[in-house]
Amino acid sequence: MNQREFLRKQMLKKTREQIEEKFAGKEIHIIKAINLLTDLESINNLMTENLNEWKLRQPTGEAEKEFLNLEKNVKNINEQKEKLIEFIEKEMSTEFPNFSTIATPIIGAKLLASAGSKKKLCFAPASTIQVLGAEKALFNHIKHKTRCPKHGHIFNHPLLQRLPKQKRGKAARVIAGKLSIALKQDYFGGENNSKMVFKELEKIIEKISNEPEKIKKPNQPSQKNKPEHRTFTPEERRAFFEKQNKEKTFYKNNKTTNQTTPQNSNNKKTTNKKDFKKFNKFKKFKKFKKRN
C-alpha cells in the first residue's frame, strides 16, 4: 500500500471518531439547549423593553391588537424558557450528578458549552474551569497586559455572590478545584458524594468571608536613581547657557590651532587634562557622525 493512501485512510478514520464523539454523546443536547436559552433570554429582554415603552403610549385600535399579540409571544417565550431549564436540570443530573449539584445545573451547562464536549471539560484543570466564559478578558490580558480575569461563568455561583469583591478570586479558585474533582468522579463513574462536598465548600467560603481584609497600600514609586524635578531660576539658566557657549568656543579654537600649528614633540601642553578629555570626546562624536 502506498504511504499516501495509508495516511489518507488513517486521517479519515480519526475524523469519523471525532465526529462520533462530538455528535453521538448526550452532552450535545445540553449544549444546544443552553445556547438556545441564552438566545431566548436576550430576545425576551428586548421584547419586554419595547412592550413597556409601547404600553406607555396607550395603543388603541389595530395597534392594541398588535400589542396584545406581542404580549402573548413574550408569555410563550417565558414558558419555553421554563421548559428548557427543566430539561437542562434533568439531563445534567443524569450526566453529571456530582458536578451539577456543586455548580448548579445552569452554570454547569454553560461551562460545558464553553468547553465544547464532556471529555474536554472533565480533563480540564481547575485554572481553566475557573476562567471558562471570560475568554475575551483572558486574551486581552495575554495580548495587552491588562488585569487577569478571576472568574468566568462561576461568577454567578450562589456561594460566590455573597462575598465581597476582594475575596471572590480566592473563593472562585476553591470552587473550581472542587468542580474539577467532581467532573472526574462523574466521568470515571465515582460515588455521588456531592452533598457532603457542597457542605465542605460552604464552610471554606465562610472562613474566607470571615478573614480580615488586607489593606493595600498605594504603590509608591521608588525614589532610587530618580532625577530631581525642580524649576530653575533665570540666573541659573543664564549661567548654564554661558557655560555651554564657552565649551563650544573652546572646541572651535582647539580645532583651528591643530590645523595651523605643526605637531612637534617639544611643544608644551598648556591646557588642563579635563579640557583635553572634552576635546577628545568631541572629536570622537564628529567621526561617528561622518560615518553615519
Q: What is the pLDDT of residues 24-53, one digit of tens each?
A: 778 889 999 999 999 999 999 999 999 999
Q: Last residue of a domain, which of 211, 242, 273?
A: 211
Q: Which of 165, 190, 211 is the last residue of a domain?
A: 211
Residue 119 sits in the same domain as residue 48: no
pLDDT tens, 154-188? 999 999 988 888 888 899 999 999 999 999 999 99
- Give pLDDT, residue 268: 45
The CATH number that applies at residue 147 is: 1.10.246.90
Question: Which class for 138: exposed (0-12), middle (13-18), buried (19 or more C-beta within 10 A)?
Answer: middle
Residue 3 belongs to some domain of the structure = no
The reply to whether 106 and 179 lie within a common domain is: yes
Stated pTM of the model? 0.67
User: Which of 161, 182, 211 finishes a domain?
Assistant: 211
**Number of domains comprising the chain:** 2
Q: Is residue 271 part of a domain?
A: no
| Percent of the chain scoring above 70 in pLDDT | 79
Domain co-membership, 101 together with 207 = yes
Domain with 118 in it: 97-211
In this prediction, residue 278 has a pLDDT band, given cuts at 50, 70 and 90, of low
- Please state, in angstroms and rounded to a whole number, the distance separating the CA atoms of residues 12 and 220: 61
Residue 263 has pLDDT above 60, yes or no: no
pLDDT digits (tens, 9 = 90+) for 78-136: 999 999 999 999 999 999 999 999 999 999 999 999 998 888 899 999 999 999 998 88
Q: 203 in a domain, yes or no?
A: yes
Q: Are 196 and 117 contained in the same domain?
A: yes
